[in-house]
Chains A and B, each alone.
Chain A
Amino acid sequence: MEHIVIIGNGISGVTAARHIRKNSNNKITIVSAESKYFFSRTALMYVYMGHMKFEHTQPYENWFWEKNNIQLKQGFVSNIHPHKKQIEFRNGETLSFDKLIIATGSKPNKFGWPGQDLDGVMGMYHKQDLEKLEKYAPDNKACNSAVIVGGGLIGIELAEMLRSRKIPVTFLVRENSFWNGVLPAQESEMINNHIKEHHIDLRLNTNLKEIKSDENGRVKSVIIEETGEEIFCNVVGLTAGVTPNIDFLKESGIELGRGVKVNRFLETNIKDIYAIGDCAEQHKAIGQRRNIEAVWYTGRMMGETLAQTICGNKTEYKPGHWFNSAKFLDIEYQTYGWVFSEIGKKENETYFQWQHPKEQKCITISFDKNTNQFLGINTFGIRMRHDIFNKWLTENQTINHVLENLADANFDPEFYKLYESEIVEKFNKENNTSIQTKKKSWKRIFSKA
């Protein structure tokens, strides 16, 4: 029986712990400074918005950990001593391990803006950020204006949160269109409009110069780089991406880049020490993925994979086809396979796009213009089946096949209007093809690749 110590009780660490417990009787300790019990970070926004209470974000009841013999240890790890196989806490305590999993996630980026540490400046990542937001922005009287810096997924979520309490929000986005490093222009523009519909003051091509303080060290205003304009506000949200949360490892001897360097088995340069989730950095990117993937799903997969290795079934981290999802205010987004934005896409990749004339629904299918191979899909406002796209990607299907069978992929609730025929009609018109949509078939849906 070995003692497995996991630093970090986010989705990666907890998934690893659960799967190690399923497959072994190793002693497991999860260490966290943030909260005793695992909660879903992605759900923090719903607590502030009043959709849920904090306890609802906890996927397991509190008795779960003891019942499954998983020790929870609260404490802030300040250093790791690999040769002694010990971790050290800020209060001087130590804990010995046989195997160590580093799953400490990320922290919000701060780019050295003047005033970035003032009271009322915060990211939206940790449970403590939520508490801070409750403190500084409980309602629109205590906080009569907020500025958000950085146009990514967390930025738009923070904007939605603040708007749920009717707090005026100015949203500074560096790019010339929201998230257009990732999204094709059609979709990026749709989101721009949607943001404005929610009465969020979206400022594109806008950078932060500095954050100004009042006499009590609290945020008073921000200054815009480009125009010098001063925007008065009580809260500033810094949501310009995240970086691996690994400062405490600097003297540990573990190889670090931007994150903890790991190989395909999620091993660090030191035996018996592993890293998973947001804080892990692959030596070499896997396929078209980034070296660091700060995504819920990849964290979960790494946790599952590493648990296999730790329990004696040495397993390579081989994430399947890329997928992801998000929600931009009212618009749901799912993606399967690779769809790169105009900025990032390669020469052979081309789009087929469809957009609903009135409602906020659209899709972009990326395919190889030489071979017609289906590469990926972005879908906004229409839900689609993960399994089906996974299968089509594995089978290297053509876009023609995908469109022909698009009805199989629809995952919208019953009685929703279906758009397959409109989508295919548009493709036929643009490409001089005569693809006929097939009726949904359970047989095909359940067939394996």
Chain B
Amino acid sequence: MKVIKQSGLIIFLLGLTIFVGTIFTGSFNLNQSDLDTFIKEKNYKSAVIKSNLEKAIVTSEDLNIFQFSKRVIKAYESSNLYYDKLIQKYNKEKKWKEKGKQYQYKIGGKPHSLSFILAKKAGKGWAAEKTTLMWFLTFGLGIIGALLFIVPDVVLLGKPGIKNNGIFLDAATNRGWIGWFAFVFLVTFYILLYFYPDLIVNWVFLVDPISSSISGNPASQWFLYGFLYCTVMTVMAVRMYVKYRDNKYQILRTTSVLFFQIVFAFLIPEILVRFEKPWYDFKNAFPLDYDFFFRWNLDELLSSGGFGLFILIWGVVLTVVIVPVMVYFFGKRWYCSWVCGCGGLAETLGDPYRQLSSKTLLSWKFERIIIHSVLIFVLVMTGFALYTFFSGANQVIGIKTQTIQDIYGFLIGSIFAGVIGTGFYPIFGNRVWCRFGCPLAAYLGFIQRFKSKFRITTNGGQCISCGNCSTYCEQGIDVRAYAQKGENIVRSSCVGCGVCSAVCPRGVLKLENGPEGGRINPTEILLGNDVDLMNLVNQKQ
């Protein structure tokens, strides 16, 4: 078994190495006719872009993706620079009409996204051409290796029970060198994904066939991300099944997040695209789905007929009715740890890191400030977006709606939710985003704290203050602080993962939905002392 496990690790690392190495493979260039078609499709008005691109990438040279990217970006830049100069020139000469004309020749878009589109057409080599083989050598080996590493634990970990031996003695899970390595890897991955998609175009080639078979379109970097996300979650869900096989709550919860990720976040939206409907994840509720009320989205939905209208109404009903009502009955866990995609990744890929979240009072203070700021940010931004949509004015009190949306998308949508939210798992624990950033979590948290049947019940006086519950709380709640006083845990940030209850060696904690009366119990009881005295102390309050 040990041998299988170790060879699994080797195979996984081999797959990972090939996966990373794939970035550097292949050659990129276009032939003249492809470029012509591209320019025609794009309908560029610039007179120079064509020749710029021709010089740059219609070549017999074998460019790697880095050289290719550089050249493409330079081609676009110099085209735009050419017209910028003209604008300056006419400006000086005060030829306003001429100056005004030049703006139409400028080409918008993020440089690396422009380069991604061309790279997608220009790529040759292993990833682009021997896709199936390369898919097997990367994804295939990764999946097989990881499973070989994980599944033997059924035997190696012994009988079902709590399997936390050695977690703080292992460099992978105690912020040791493996943890820091994983951190660098994840952060780099997210930076590439969000800001340098062209550099990982070879990875996108690998999932082209899968994308075509589902949506009929070639893959984008977002399809790659979606596919990778589902793959990682599936493999790590197997790990959850092995690790928590004594705990039915964990097994059902893991199955649920996996189902919602694969079906709702991945398959349904892609299939919608196949039927020329808007890409939409039916479980992704505003304000986590922060661009739902952006003008482009509303326009798209409104122009998609009855189905678009249905999505629009569903989106609003989901946030305004379904989400709060469900939180009233079940706590925010029904969303955060049973349905949500971010939660899903945190509960599968992130599970080995849950013990790294900070439990200090200070971090709780930061948490409340930051997460509520994000909520306010998203609400203000949405106010702007709706105002813009209905009034047509593109700015409010002198601030451009677009600017605010761009800032949110960059700072919160990309950096916070992606780079920090997931990249920092190995250092700050999983759920970094859910705990500190997610505006939906903040919204659900209010309901959970003030109007809900959900609580974690503390079992009388049985707590021995050991601290397993607090240590393994991914949300950094100091569960023990309540349990040792005999108090129930009613906290807005609790996502109801149920691990505190699982790891408790004395059977003290139980997640349950009960009557609202008695949910928050008296704070001062004498734990197990004579009943008269308990009454006396409680009366004194």
- Tell me which residues across on chain A come within 8 A of B355, comparing CB atoms: 52
Q: Please, what's the 1-or-0 string for B429-445, where 1 marks a CB less than 8 Å from any CB in chain A?
A: 00000000000000000
Within 8 A of A (CB), among B164-203: 164-170, 174
Known: A57-B467, A59-B480. A301 touches B526 (CB 8 A): yes
CA of A305 to CA of B532 in the docked complex: distance in angstroms?
A: 12
Selected from B170, B466, B524, B532, the residue in CB contact (under 8 A) with A57 is B466
Known: A43-B468, A323-B461, A386-B459. A50 touches B169 (CB 8 A): yes
Most buried by A among B160, B502, B527: B527
CA of A56 to CA of B459 in the docked complex: distance in angstroms?
A: 21
Q: Please, what's the 1-or-0 string for A362-395, where 1 marks a CB less than 8 Å from any CB in chain B?
A: 0000000000000000000001111100100010
Say whether B60 faces chain A, with CB atoms less than 8 Å apart: no
CB distance from A448 to the nearest CB of B (A): 9
Selected from B501, B505, B515, B524, the residue in CB contact (under 8 A) with A413 is B501
- Tell me which residues across on chain A come within 8 A of B100, comparing CB atoms: none
Question: Number of B interface residues, CB 8 Å?
Answer: 60
**Looking across the interface, which residue of chain B has its beta carbon closest to that of A298?**
B528
Q: Contact at B527–A56, with CB atoms within 8 Å? A: no
**Looking across the interface, which residue of chain B has its beta carbon closest to that of A315?**
B533
**Looking across the interface, which residue of chain B has its beta carbon closest to that of A384?**
B507
Known: A318-B530, A413-B249, A442-B514. A59 touches B505 (CB 8 A): no
- Tell me which residues across on chain A come within 8 A of B484, comparing CB atoms: 59
CA of A59 to CA of B462 in the docked complex: distance in angstroms?
A: 15
CB distance from B331 to the nearest CB of A (A): 11
Say whether A26 faces chain B, with CB atoms less than 8 Å apart: no
Say whether B510 faces chain A, with CB atoms less than 8 Å apart: yes
Say whether A49 faces chain B, with CB atoms less than 8 Å apart: yes
- Tell me which residues across on chain B come within 8 A of A383, comparing CB atoms: 459, 507, 510
Q: Contact at A415–B252, with CB atoms within 8 Å? A: yes
Selected from A164, A301, A327, the residue in CB contact (under 8 A) with B527 is A301
- Tell me which residues across on chain B come within 8 A of A387, comparing CB atoms: 459-460
**Looking across the interface, which residue of chain A has its beta carbon closest to that of B529?**
A301
- Tell me which residues across on chain B come within 8 A of A305, comparing CB atoms: 526, 529, 533
Say whether A76 faces chain B, with CB atoms less than 8 Å apart: no
Q: Contact at B169–A442, with CB atoms within 8 Å? A: no
Say whether A320 faces chain B, with CB atoms less than 8 Å apart: yes
- Tell me which residues across on chain B come within 8 A of A416, comparing CB atoms: 248-249
Within 8 A of A (CB), among B306-360: 355, 360
- Tell me which residues across on chain A come within 8 A of B527, comparing CB atoms: 297, 300-301, 304
Say whether A229 faces chain B, with CB atoms less than 8 Å apart: no
- Tell me which residues across on chain A come within 8 A of B467, comparing CB atoms: 40, 43, 46, 52, 56-59
Q: Contact at B526–A386, with CB atoms within 8 Å? A: no
Within 8 A of A (CB), among B100-159: 158-159
Selected from B506, B528, B534, the residue in CB contact (under 8 A) with A334 is B506
Q: Contact at B164–A51, with CB atoms within 8 Å? A: yes
Selected from A22, A297, A318, the residue in CB contact (under 8 A) with B461 is A297
Say whether A411 faces chain B, with CB atoms less than 8 Å apart: yes
Q: What's the count of A-B pairs with C-beta under 8 Å?
A: 165
Q: Contact at B466–A46, with CB atoms within 8 Å? A: yes
Say whether B412 faces chain A, with CB atoms less than 8 Å apart: no
Q: Contact at A164–B529, with CB atoms within 8 Å? A: no
CA of A197 to CA of B160 in the docked complex: distance in angstroms?
A: 12
Q: Contact at A332–B506, with CB atoms within 8 Å? A: yes
Within 8 A of B (CB), among A308-354: 308, 315, 317-321, 323, 325-327, 329-330, 332, 334
Selected from A319, A320, A327, A446, the residue in CB contact (under 8 A) with B505 is A327
- Tell me which residues across on chain B come within 8 A of A238, comparing CB atoms: none
Within 8 A of B (CB), among A413-447: 413-417, 442, 445-446
**Looking across the interface, which residue of chain A has its beta carbon closest to that of B503?**
A51
Say whether B376 faces chain A, with CB atoms less than 8 Å apart: no
Within 8 A of A (CB), among B459-505: 459-462, 464-468, 470-471, 480-481, 484, 498, 501-503, 505
CA of A52 to CA of B354 in the docked complex: distance in angstroms?
A: 12
CA of A59 to CA of B478 in the docked complex: distance in angstroms?
A: 9
Say whether A250 faces chain B, with CB atoms less than 8 Å apart: no
CA of A305 to CA of B166 in the docked complex: distance in angstroms?
A: 39
- Tell me which residues across on chain A come within 8 A of B468, comparing CB atoms: 43, 46, 51-52
CA of A414 to CA of B509 in the docked complex: distance in angstroms?
A: 11
CA of A46 to CA of B168 in the docked complex: distance in angstroms?
A: 10
CB distance from B187 to the nearest CB of A (A): 25
CA of A360 to CA of B171 in the docked complex: distance in angstroms?
A: 34
CA of A46 to CA of B468 in the docked complex: distance in angstroms?
A: 8
Q: Contact at B170–A50, with CB atoms within 8 Å? A: yes
Within 8 A of B (CB), among A33-85: 40, 42-43, 46, 49-53, 56-59, 61
Known: A50-B167, A315-B533, A385-B459. A43 touches B466 (CB 8 A): yes
Q: Contact at B460–A385, with CB atoms within 8 Å? A: yes
Say whether A449 faces chain B, with CB atoms less than 8 Å apart: yes
CB distance from A162 to the nearest CB of B (A): 12
Selected from A52, A317, A413, A445, the residue in CB contact (under 8 A) with B168 is A52
CB distance from A419 to the nearest CB of B (A): 14
CB distance from B485 to the nearest CB of A (A): 10
Q: Contact at A414–B167, with CB atoms within 8 Å? A: no
Known: A52-B471, A197-B159, A304-B527. A386 touches B461 (CB 8 A): yes
**Looking across the interface, which residue of chain A has its beta carbon closest to that of B457?**
A411
Q: Contact at B460–A318, with CB atoms within 8 Å? A: no
- Tell me which residues across on chain B come within 8 A of A51, comparing CB atoms: 162, 164-165, 167-168, 468, 471, 503
Q: Contact at A446–B165, with CB atoms within 8 Å? A: no
Within 8 A of A (CB), among B515-541: 515, 517-518, 524, 526-534
Selected from A52, A411, A414, the residue in CB contact (under 8 A) with B249 is A414
Q: Contact at B465–A40, with CB atoms within 8 Å? A: yes
Most buried by B among A301, A329, A394: A301
CA of A197 to CA of B158 in the docked complex: distance in angstroms?
A: 9
Known: A49-B164, A442-B515. A320 touches B462 (CB 8 A): no
Say whether B512 faces chain A, with CB atoms less than 8 Å apart: yes
Q: Contact at A61–B360, with CB atoms within 8 Å? A: yes
CB distance from B368 to the nearest CB of A (A): 17
Selected from B459, B480, B531, the residue in CB contact (under 8 A) with A411 is B459
CB distance from A446 to the nearest CB of B (A): 5
CB distance from B322 to the nearest CB of A (A): 21
CB distance from B131 to the nearest CB of A (A): 42
CB distance from B298 to the nearest CB of A (A): 40
Say whether B81 faces chain A, with CB atoms less than 8 Å apart: no
Known: A40-B464, A51-B168. A301 touches B510 (CB 8 A): no
Say whether B161 faces chain A, with CB atoms less than 8 Å apart: yes
Say whether A296 faces chain B, with CB atoms less than 8 Å apart: yes
Say whether A11 faces chain B, with CB atoms less than 8 Å apart: yes
CB distance from A61 to the nearest CB of B (A): 6
Say whether B511 faces chain A, with CB atoms less than 8 Å apart: yes
Say whether A198 faces chain B, with CB atoms less than 8 Å apart: yes
CA of A416 to CA of B250 in the docked complex: distance in angstroms?
A: 11
State the 5 A-B residue pairs at the shortest beta-carbon distance, nearest first.
A386-B460, A383-B507, A318-B530, A330-B161, A43-B466
18 intermolecular pairs with C-beta atoms under 8 Å apart:
A11-B465, A40-B464, A42-B464, A43-B468, A46-B466, A46-B468, A49-B165, A50-B166, A50-B169, A198-B158, A198-B159, A319-B530, A320-B528, A325-B464, A383-B510, A413-B501, A417-B248, A445-B514
